[in-house]
Structure 1
């Protein structure tokens, strides 16, 4: 198939594009290479794709309506994976407008491209952050998530609602994936594992929020990609009418629409995560203990039973294995 992937210079997007190419698909990648973090790292990710003749790159911003319309009209993808977004829960305090521009306006342009060019299936990135103030764990897609604590989370919740409206109005099959703390080689420099590794190797202290007591469903990148690929190949269908409608946040009945958690079912405490990293690096961390940051939640735990039931998703990589692989990549890439 020909598949359009947005954010192919990004962490998850570059891995997904590689996997699609490896199985024989054509990939049209879109990325604007913004400077939210190290552009050299983004270019290095992209370089791994550009040598493949089945990869075509479009340098564009999702918020550029004309560029997006042109990309869809020229390439006419059969399916779309939308991973481009302004990420990060704290950056919104400095630059809130970019979240709406990229994550809301940009997503509208993706939906419009899918609508007008007969796309068979749209898979898009959401986030576990949408659960916000919800304290019922494990987090389930079948419970309401109406109280996001950050603008980033609010923008991704908006994506979920926008996708449902297009699924209902235009019959566009849409699948949203709520990612849980993704890590691994070629990761984002603004995330904890990257920040901790850099600081420990430099002999600098690391900031440990909530005194390291919060827990996360840390999920290795290969497990995320495997689940995404399976979801991409599993196109949702409308399965009810108005008379049979039973409202459920995870599905619709009146629209070809589904939401799934995608993550590791095992929660790991941050202090344990740091301990594993120390072992892999062969160095102890100097920890600066701090309170929980505004916008952060104490714990995240993924209920992935729906994704298991529908596509056979099963995370395989333990934190010990995944952190070791990241450290090996980091040492090689940065020559340290």
Structure 2
């Protein structure tokens, strides 16, 4: 059996607000898609019903803060669209959790792309991801 033509996309945070919009755009606008993997901590099972004859949709529940999981979910991927993030507008989530998801999770995605030779990583973000700059100090981090 011959492999399907087209690219394999991974959308981190694929069941979230931005991730779902990116996913639907891929289904509607992109011609060269064989598979879209939606990777999220909480999956929306209704999205699996959007598979077509040409495009396979896979829902993968997992935690971006777990490097082993990120490495596994990126196997065989051609393009990663990284939209997973933790936004806390009410200041109820510990800063360590926000750091783990938004910074360390992004580092895991970058490492997985490097380890698997994935040449295309699209990073999406906004200021809300890193939170308000309360103390006036710039936000820096490195992997």
Ranges of 4+ aligned residues in structure 1 off by more than 2 Å: 88-91
Q: 1:103 to 1:64 in 2, by over 3 A?
A: same
The match for 1:96 is: 95
* Residues matched between the structures, number: 127
Picking from 4, 21, 26, the partner of 1:15 is 21
TM-score normalised per structure 1: 0.34
Assess if the C-alpha contact under 8 Å between 1:89 and 1:150 holds in 2: no
More helix, by proportion: 1
Q: 1:129 to 1:31 in 2, by over 3 A?
A: closer
Matched, 1:50 2:59: no
| Secondary structure in 1 matching 2:19 | helix
After superposition, the CA RMSD in angstroms is 2.6
| CA drift at 1:126 | 2.3
Picking from 18, 32, 48, the partner of 2:41 is 32
Matched, 1:85 2:89: no
Larger radius of gyration: 1
Q: 1:110 to 1:32 in 2, by over 3 A?
A: same
| Secondary structure in 1 matching 2:64 | coil
| Secondary structure in 2 matching 1:107 | helix
State the distance in 1 between where 2:128 and 2:77 align.
30
Gapped runs of 5+ residues in structure 2? 1-6
Assess if the C-alpha contact under 8 Å between 2:87 and 2:128 holds in 1: no
| CA drift at 1:112 | 0.7
The match for 1:303 is: none
Q: Deviations over 1:147-189 (max 9, x none)?
A: x6159xx76x64xx65xxxxxxxxxxxxxxxxxxxxxxxxxxx
1:240-251 to structure 2, matched below 5 A, reads: none
Q: 1:72 to 1:94 in 2, by over 3 A?
A: closer
Q: Deviations over 1:125-145 (max 9, x none)?
A: 221459x9xxxxxxxxxxxxx
Higher relative contact order (CA 8 A, sep 6+): 2
Q: Deviations over 1:168-211 (max 9, x none)?
A: xxxxxxxxxxxxxxxxxxxxxxxxxxxxxxxxxxxxxxxxxxxx
Q: Deviations over 1:270-316 (max 9, x none)?
A: xxxxxxxxxxxxxxxxxxxxxxxxxxxxxxxxxxxxxxxxxxxxxxx
Assess if the C-alpha contact under 8 Å between 1:81 and 1:123 holds in 2: yes
The match for 1:64 is: 66
Q: 1:150 to 1:112 in 2, by over 3 A?
A: farther
The match for 2:11 is: 5
Assess if the C-alpha contact under 8 Å between 2:64 and 2:108 holds in 1: yes
Gapped runs of 5+ residues in structure 1? 34-41, 133-147, 163-336
TM-score normalised per structure 2: 0.75
| Secondary structure in 1 matching 2:106 | helix
| CA drift at 1:90 | 3.6
